[in-house]
Chains A and B, each alone.
Chain A
Amino acid sequence: MLLLGLAACAASPKNTAPAPAAEWFTDVAQAAGLDFTHVNGMSGRFYYPEIMAPGVGLFDYDNDGDLDVYVTQGHLLGTNGPSDGTGDRLFRNDTVTNPDGTHTIHFTDVTTPSGISLRSYGMGIAAGDFNNDGFVDLYRTGLSGAVLLRNNGDGTFTDVTKAAGVGDPGGWGVSATFFDYDRDGWLDLFVGNYLIYSLAGDVQCLSVTGRRDYCPPNSYRAQPSHLYHNRGNGTFEDVTAKAFVNGAYGPALGSATADFNNDGWIDLYVANDGQPNQLWINQHDGTFKDTAFLAGAAVSGTGQAEASMGVDAGDFDNDGDEDLFITNWLDQMNVLYLNDGAGNFEDRRAAAGLGPPSLAKTGFGAGWMDFDRDGWLDLFVANGGVATIEALARANDPFPLKMTPQLYRNLGTGRFEDVSSRAGAVFKIADVGRGAAFGDIDNDGDTDIIVGNTNGKLRVLVNGEPNRNHWLGLRLVAPVQRSGRLQPADRLPEGGRHDGRVRDMLGARVQIVRANTPALWRRARADGSYASANDPRVLVGLGASAETPRVKVTWPDGRLEEFSAVAVDRYVTLEEGTGK
């Protein structure tokens, strides 16, 4: 013991630890010019909206082939509005490819020249070309109503909310999703509304020890969501009551669209906070039927409604159907619903190893992504609390809700491994994580992530995971005809040409077929996660095989085309009507 004591008193010997391995993910926000800090408006009153935003968006607004960034902003609550310097931001991607093939990631704040001046309390963002002019538009949800920003194609946007009829007046919208549910070639819009809320009616909640804290969602009543049908003339019709049999109720947070029952028609899954989730199965006639309960995707395996914030659909087990991952409050664990191919689900969170690592976390934005390109979809989760974490409060953290994000690697066996500790220093940084958007920011063939943090800095996690796996990047598009008025994307006549403008075919599914490896299924989507918009391109990890695959595309209207010998390790555009 004496020796041990003396050893404790002696100086430590020199440590020659080996150099650290390359980080899988690195936060480049500051270096890249994405210097954004969210303002949640906290003032000590614990207003409920302080803990819900922001959403983030990845989309190519200027059609220059790289992803730009949009972030919603809040403001001080209980005042008349923000002071100068706040408001939503649009950042243009000016990434440069260096002569040695590396990339210098750089963004420029182009909010002012874009004409976007949104200073109300923002929540989330959805991206989609609603008017089929070849330029991606934005739908921005907020605490009291939403805004539709039409992309003018010249770097500017115009607020067309009123004319379009999608303002969601008085609505507290969080997630929204553009999808063509009736296969008419026009993107319709689902808006997930959360709670009936006003600052004047804010409920004061206490913890069991009597301190002020944020309320649980059941302190307020849910606000019904909306489905807007695109008329094809720049306007929408609210078809909620007609389309959602038996009504649509919130409190909706996350939404994701996919063909869950493999009948060729796109369906909608809505994650409701503290209430049963909804699986709206497309009835092919303009209506949807909620089958979540019967399908086993409404509540937990024990029969309890869970928090349900973020949601994403993806074929994690490569069996050809869309499974669901939903983030939850701590104590509840995140959920993995395994699809049997017919739209029935089984709660497999425990069997997949996703349960215990999430027990002490509250998850929000989340997404399926193949970060190591081995052909198996992995998971990223942005975590952040919704009530005071006592240990942080005692350490005088001014916003003591912080948690670290997580990365789960798909082992290809139906199980996942929490690899956060190996994923990079950014995974040790605790934030109040909310929106997460997934996309290839530097176009190097792997998925990057941007994370919006409540009252915190935007994080840009660039993927540098060292692997030599091959990949396939697909942009699935259809040509846009323009003859003085808006028209749907018609099939081109034989030998026909178009003017070069295209739109992303959200909801299109691809099957990657190779001779010596199992097939993979992915889909083009911009929705999913939490209040965020994702890169609509399909990025497929191919593992070690460099074999050029055949790609079978099922377009949103159900038509099937095949493209052979699609080049790997690069982005390829597949245009509807040009395959076999």
Chain B
Amino acid sequence: MISGRPVRLVALCCLVVVFAAAGCRRWAGRNLLAAPLPDLSRVDAGVQAQVRGRYETLTRALSDRADAPELASAFGQYGMVLQAAEFYDVAEPCYLNAQKLEPDEVRWPYYLAGLYKSRGETDKAEAAYKQALALRPDDLAALIWLGRLHLDQGRPEAAEPLFVKANSLAPRTVAALAGLGRVAVAKRDYPQAVKYLEDALAIDPEAESLHAPLAAAYRGLGQLDKAQPHLRQWRNRDLPVPDPLQQELDLLLESALSYELRGVRAFEARAWPQAVQFFRKGIELSHEDTQLSRSLHHKLGTALYLTGDIQGAREQFEEVVRHAPPGGLDEATSKAHYSLGVLLASRGDTQPAVQHLLAAVQYQPNYVEAHMAVADVLRRTGRGEASLSHYRDAIAINPRQNVARLGYAMALVQLRRYREARDWLDESVQLYGDRPDLKIALARLLATSPDAGARDGARALSIAQQMFDAGEKSTALGETIAMALAEQGNFAQAIGIQRDVMAAAQRAGMTASVQRMAANLALYERHQPCRAPWFEDDLVSVPTTAVTAETSIPSSTVQPH
């Protein structure tokens, strides 16, 4: 027979075993979930140090029996770095513990909600956002995120009051207006959708992704004529939510890549000096001679360029080139060569510019901007024959590269191959009939070709007139009409139009263009037609700066999950 005392001891052991098996610790009467240190072997050294540091702070707080707020903060801070590093399963108990210890702190349910959202656990995310809002009813970000969640759940009726409140708290918040617009679209209330989305775009014209749902709303109203222009303005842009807590999380990690991401975000916000700081920090944390390091140097150079520090920019690009791999393909090196080429070309240092641009193409054969840039430099410095292959390469990489088609035609004209240029532009217009620049180029060539076999003033005027009647209004088209009229002997009208175009250009501040147009005006006044469709050194397009290339191809990054 077992005595009473050993039975109680056995029961107590069972209890301890049960709770230990459940991963709980008893502290000051509270049961807390285990929050271990995860396997950090796959993580950057800087991030490892961060995680370990916060873990040590937590264990110290536990062993020192810190008070509830301090312990909550330790759990919460540890949870944040874990969440930022995507250790969601370990971050979750940290936040739950923090919430238990500090139930009035809005951060913990807020971060939990984001974590649950990342894992696709929408019901839990919804509950956590509601907890956050119970603590802070006017939290703008929580209102918007919960509203979006309800929309994703197909519950616009639940989302609407949240966006309404967000909009009333912060009337010029694009994310709130966009949310209201989405609600209206979901309810098929297209007039209301139009109102909200137009308001959002009026506040922030760069919220260009909204042009798509706005066009859909106009389409819903049967107003296709209003929908079309919006579709042409669409760009793929994220709609940021003003969210200081999330931003704190996003900027938390001390890794080179994290700083690169911060810098790219600063780019997108046009905060160049901040971008400079972030990229410098990223370079400090990165290892030399890695692709990431080269990428950071190049991005720093771009940011310096945008702050006006041209010399500083050049030094960074040259640093990249100095550490370039000896051969093969390398994106950062390619971009650095491109940036140097563009810089030098803008100063008139043509020869070294061409060398850098050719090197850019060597390190990245499908770098269409580099092909365009080298083609333009060659053409504008009288080397039309050499430019042709680069224009062709640009078109092969991207058949929709219409400026390359234009450049190719200009090179042919430079080489006095007028009929070939005409045929090329004819084919281009057939393929890409909605490109006004190609049509204008064809009309100009037809109006002004020195080779009579390629000249057709009547056709030139017809093309230009059709464009004008369709609503195309530009100085380039006006000039072209004047050229065509002069070719047909209608000098009086040509003079009138040329003068009108020059006045419009003057008003627009296009001084250099006005001076060039004066030369043609003088011809018409002498009753002579123009025999040059464009000037030899006319740009086909403005070479994209490195920053444009940056935002189109992020390197060394992965979409965060």
Q: Whole-angstrom distance between the alpha carbons of A4 and B87 in the complex?
A: 34
Is the CB–CB distance between A355 and B153 below 8 Å?
yes
B432 touches A205 (CB 8 A): no
B139 within 8 A of A: no
Whether A330 lies near B329 (C-beta < 8 A) is no
The residues of A that contact B152 with a CB separation of less than 8 Å are 333, 350, 355-356, 359
B209 touches A299 (CB 8 A): yes
Q: Nearest CB to that of A361 among chain B residues?
A: B120
Shortest B515–chain A CB gap in Å is 36
Contact A196 B366, CB 8 Å, known A303-B212, A330-B120, A351-B186:
yes
Verify A247–B400 contact, CB threshold 8 A.
yes
**B269 located at the interface, meaning its Cβ lies under 8 Å from any Cβ of chain A in the complex:** no
The CA-CA distance from A240 to B431 in the complex, in Å, is 10
Cβ of B542 within 8 Å of any chain A Cβ, yes or no, is no
Decide: A216 and B558 in contact? CB cutoff 8 A.
yes
- The reply to whether A246 and B434 form a contact with Cβ atoms under 8 Å apart is yes
Asked if A163 CB lies within 8 Å of chain B CBs, one says no
Task: Determine if A303 and B255 form an interchain contact, defined as CB atoms under 8 angstroms apart.
Answer: no
Q: Which residues of A contact B18 (CB under 8 A)?
A: 4-5, 8
| Beta-carbon contact of B120 and A387 below 8 Å | no
Which candidate, B35-43, B341-349, B382-390, B440-448, is the interface stretch facing chain A?
A: B35-43
- Find A215's partner among B238, B256, B558 (CB 8 Å cutoff): B558
Is A18's CB within 8 Å of the partner chain B? no
Question: At the interface, yes or no: B478 with Cβ under 8 Å from chain A?
Answer: no
CB <8 Å contact, B210 and A303:
yes
Tell me whether A352 and B154 are in contact (CB under 8 A): yes
CB distance from B457 to the nearest CB of A (A): 29
Tell me the minimal C-beta distance from A168 to chain B in angstroms: 14
Nearest Cβ in chain A — how far from B359, in angstroms? 15
B463 within 8 A of A: no
Q: Which of B95-103, B227-235, B532-540 has 4 or more CB atoms under 8 Å from chain A?
A: B227-235
- Nearest-neighbour CB distance to chain B for A210, whole angstroms, equals 3
Is there an interface contact between A390 and B87, defined as CB atoms closer than 8 Å?
A: yes
Q: Does A1 contact B (CB under 8 A)?
A: yes
Q: Known interface pairs A206-B257, A219-B553. Does A294 touch B213 (Cβ–Cβ under 8 Å)? A: no
- Chain B contacts for A333, CB-based, 8 A: 152
B residues 162-210 near A (Cβ < 8 Å) are 178, 182, 185-186, 209-210
Which A-chain residue is minimally distant from B89 (CB atoms)? Answer: A391
**Assembly CA distance A168 to B314 (angstroms):** 41
Across the two chains, which residue of chain A brings its CB closest to B185?
Answer: A301
Known: A8-B14, A247-B431, A294-B227. A214 touches B558 (CB 8 A): yes
B residues less than 8 Å from A389 (CB atoms) = 561
| B559 contacts partner chain A, Cβ-Cβ < 8 Å | yes
Docked Cα-Cα span, A305 to B238, in Å, equals: 10
CB contacts (< 8 Å) of B219 on chain A: these are 294, 296, 344
CB distance from A243 to the nearest CB of B (A): 10
**A19 at the B interface (CB under 8 A):** no
**Cβ of A200 and Cβ of B46 under 8 Å apart?**
no
Q: Does A9 contact B (CB under 8 A)?
A: yes
Question: What residues of chain B lie closer than 8 Å to A6, measured between beta carbons?
Answer: 11, 14
With contacts A303-B211, A350-B186, A387-B558 taken as known, whether A206 is within 8 angstroms of B14 at the C-beta atoms is no
Partner of B153, one of A215, A305, A356, A394: A356
Q: A221-B366, A301-B185, A304-B236 are in contact. Are A207 and B154 (CB under 8 A)?
A: no
The reply on A2 being an interface residue by CB < 8 A is yes
Contact with A along B405-434 (1 / 0, CB 8 A): 000000000000000000000000001111
Q: Which residues in chain A, 228-281, are within 8 Å of chain B measured between CB atoms?
A: 240-242, 245-249, 275-276
Q: Is the CB of A204 within 8 A of B556?
A: yes
Chain B's nearest CB lies how many Å from the CB of A309?
14
Write out the residue numbers on chain B whose beta carbons fall within 8 Å of the beta carbon of A394: 38-39, 42
Q: Is A294 a contact partner of B231 (Cβ separation < 8 A)?
A: yes
B122 is an interface residue with CB less than 8 A from chain A: yes
The residue on A at minimum CB distance from B227 is: A294
Tell me whether A467 is interfacial, beta carbon within 8 Å: no
B328 touches which one: A196, A200, A352, A353 (CB < 8 A)?
Answer: A200
Given contacts A208-B86, A293-B231, is CB(A221)–CB(B39) below 8 Å?
A: no
Task: Enumerate chain B residues within 8 angstroms of A219, measured Cβ to Cβ.
Answer: 553-555
CB pair A301 B434 closer than 8 Å: no
B558 near A296: Cβ-Cβ < 8 Å = no
User: Contact mask A295-308 → B, CB, 8 Å, 1/0?
Assistant: 01011011111000
B66 at the interface (CB under 8 A from A): no
Instruction: Report the nearest A residue to B45, measured CB to CB.
Output: A210
Nearest neighbor of B15 in chain A, beta-carbon distance: A5
| A221 x B368 contact (CB < 8 A) | yes
Taking a contact as CB atoms under 8 Å apart, the answer to whether B329 and A387 are in contact is no
- Contact indicator B14/A356 (Cβ below 8 Å): no
> B253 contacts the other chain (Cβ, under 8 Å)?
yes
* Among B47, B117, B120, B559, residue most surrounded by chain A Cβ atoms (within 10 Å): B559
- A188-225 contact mask (Cβ, 8 Å, vs B): 1 or 0: 00000000101011011111111101111011110010
Nearest A residue (CB) for B87: A390
- Which of B14, B38, B43 contacts A9, CB < 8 Å? B14
| Alpha-carbon distance A420/B227, docked complex (angstroms) | 40
A486 at the interface (CB under 8 A from B): no
A22 sits at the interface (CB 8 A): no
**Closest B residue, CB atoms, query A362:** B561
Docked Cα-Cα span, A298 to B556, in Å, equals: 28
Interface code A164-178, partner B: CB below 8 Å = 1, 0 otherwise? 000000000000000
Whether the Cβ atoms of B561 and A330 lie closer than 8 Å is yes
Residues B234 and A205 in contact, CB atoms below 8 Å apart: no
Q: Are B558 and A247 in contact (CB under 8 A)?
A: no
B454 at interface by CB-CB < 8 Å: no
Q: Smallest CB-CB separation from B396: which chain A residue?
A: A224
**In whole Å, how far is B360's beta carbon from the nearest beta carbon of chain A?**
13
User: Per-position contact with A for B28-69: 1 when CB-CB < 8 Å, else 0?
Assistant: 000000000011001111110000000000000000000000
A275 to B253, CA, bound (A): 30
Separation of A240 and B43 alpha carbons in the complex (Å):
46
Q: In this assembly, does B70 line the interface, its C-beta being within 8 Å of a C-beta of chain A? A: no
Q: Are A299 and B236 in contact (CB under 8 A)?
A: yes
| Closest Cβ–Cβ distance, residue B286 to chain A (whole Å) | 10
Q: Which of A1, A6, A208, A390 has the most B CB atoms < 10 Å from its CB?
A: A208
Contact with A along B135-155 (1 / 0, CB 8 A): 000000000000000011111
Residue pair B44, A211 in contact (C-beta under 8 Å)? yes
Produce 1/0 per residue, A408-421, CB < 8 A to B: 00000000000000
Quick check: A249 and B227 within 8 Å, CB to CB?
no
**A397 on interface, CB distance cutoff 8 Å:** no
Q: Is B23's CB within 8 Å of the partner chain A? A: no
Complex-state Cα separation, A393 to B38, whole angstroms? 12
Most buried by B among A293, A351, A353: A293
In the complex, residue of chain B having the shortest beta-carbon distance to the beta carbon of A350: B154
Is there an interface contact between B182 and A301, defined as CB atoms closer than 8 Å? yes
Of B151, B554, B556, the residue contacting A350 (CB under 8 A) is B151
B546 at the interface (CB under 8 A from A): no
* Residue of B whose beta carbon sits closest to that of A389: B561
Pairwise interchain contact B86-A207, C-beta atoms closer than 8 A: yes
Q: Mark B223-256, 1 if CB is under 8 A from A, else 0.
A: 0100110010010101100000000000001011
B291 at the A interface (CB under 8 A): yes
Chain A residue at smallest Cβ distance from B224: A294
Q: Is B364 an interface residue (CB 8 A)?
A: yes
**Closest 6 A-B residue pairs measured CB to CB?**
A360-B120, A210-B44, A303-B209, A359-B120, A201-B329, A303-B212
**A interface list, Cβ under 8 A from B:** 1-2, 4-6, 8-9, 196, 198, 200-201, 203-211, 213-216, 218-221, 224, 240-242, 245-249, 275-276, 293-294, 296, 298-299, 301-305, 329-331, 333, 344, 346, 350-353, 355-361, 387, 389-391, 393-394
Of the A-B pairs whose beta carbons lie under 8 Å apart in the complex, a sample of 21, sorted by A's number, is: A203-B555, A204-B291, A205-B557, A206-B257, A207-B560, A208-B84, A209-B43, A218-B554, A221-B368, A221-B398, A247-B432, A293-B215, A298-B212, A299-B212, A299-B236, A301-B182, A302-B239, A333-B152, A351-B186, A390-B86, A394-B38
Given contacts A201-B328, A210-B43, A356-B153, 5 further A-B contacts (CB under 8 A): A201-B329, A203-B555, A205-B555, A210-B46, A216-B559
